[in-house]
Structure 1
Amino acid sequence: MCEPFIRGYQYNFIRNQADYVLHTLRTVGDPKVVEGVRSSAQAKVAELFPDVTDSRMTMLESIADLRTGEDLQKYVQGLEPYLTAFPPITEQQIRKLFPKNKKLKLPDLAQIDFRYVSYLSWIDISTNKMFIVYHKDGKFVGVEGRFTETNKKSYCFVCNRYEKLALFSAISRKRPTNASPDYYKSVGNYVCTDGHVCNKNVTDIAPLEKFIEAVVE
Structure 2
Amino acid sequence: MEKQIIQPFLTVANYRFIEQQAEKILQALATTKDKNVILAVRGTVKSELIDSFTWSDEEEKVVQPLIDIKDRAEGEVFLEQLKPYIIPFKSVGANKLKSLFKKERKLKLPNLEDMDLQQISYLAWDDPGKQRRYMVMEQGEDFKALKGTFTHPATKGICALCNQHTEVVRLTTSVKGEVPGTFTKHYNYICANSQLCNQHVTDIEKVRTFFNRVTK
**Distance (Å, rounded) in 1 between the aligned partners of 2:201 and 2:125:** 16
TM-score, length-scaled by structure 1: 0.91
2:62 aligned with 1:63: no
1:209 Cα deviation after fit:
1.4
Q: CA RMSD in A?
A: 1.6
Q: What do the CA deviations read for 1:33-76 (whole angstroms, capped 9, x no partner)?
A: 211110111221224531x2222202212111111112101111
1:162 Cα deviation after fit:
2.9
Task: Report the AA paired with residue 33 of structure 2.
Answer: G
Task: Report the AA paired with residue 24 of structure 2.
Answer: Y
**Distance (Å, rounded) in 1 between the aligned partners of 2:33 and 2:123:** 42
Q: Of residues 119, 135, 138 in structure 1, which corresponds to 2:138?
A: 135
8 Å contact from structure 2 (residues 9, 87) kept in 1: yes
Residue of structure 2 in register with 1:49 after alignment: 53
**Stretches of 4+ aligned residues off by more than 3 angstroms:** none
Residue ranges of structure 2 left out of the alignment (5+ in a row) = none
Identity across aligned pairs (percent)?
A: 27
- The alignment partner of 2:134 has SS state of strand
Q: Of residues 106, 109, 119 in structure 2, which corresponds to 1:116?
A: 119
8 Å contact from structure 2 (residues 154, 192) kept in 1: no
Higher mean C-alpha displacement, 132-141 vs 26-35:
26-35
8 Å contact from structure 1 (residues 10, 48) kept in 2: no
Q: What do the CA deviations read for 1:4-27 (whole angstroms, capped 9, x no partner)?
A: 111111111101100111111221
Residue ranges of structure 1 left out of the alignment (5+ in a row) = none
- The alignment partner of 1:26 has SS state of helix
**Distance (Å, rounded) in 1 between the aligned partners of 2:139 and 2:52:** 18
- The alignment partner of 2:18 has SS state of helix
Q: What do the CA deviations read for 1:126-151 (whole angstroms, capped 9, x no partner)?
A: 21211100002222000011111233
Q: What are the equivalent positions in structure 2 for 1:1-217 lying under 5 Å apart?
A: 1-47=5-51, 49-50=53-54, 52-173=55-176, 175=177, 179-217=178-216
1:103 Cα deviation after fit:
0.6
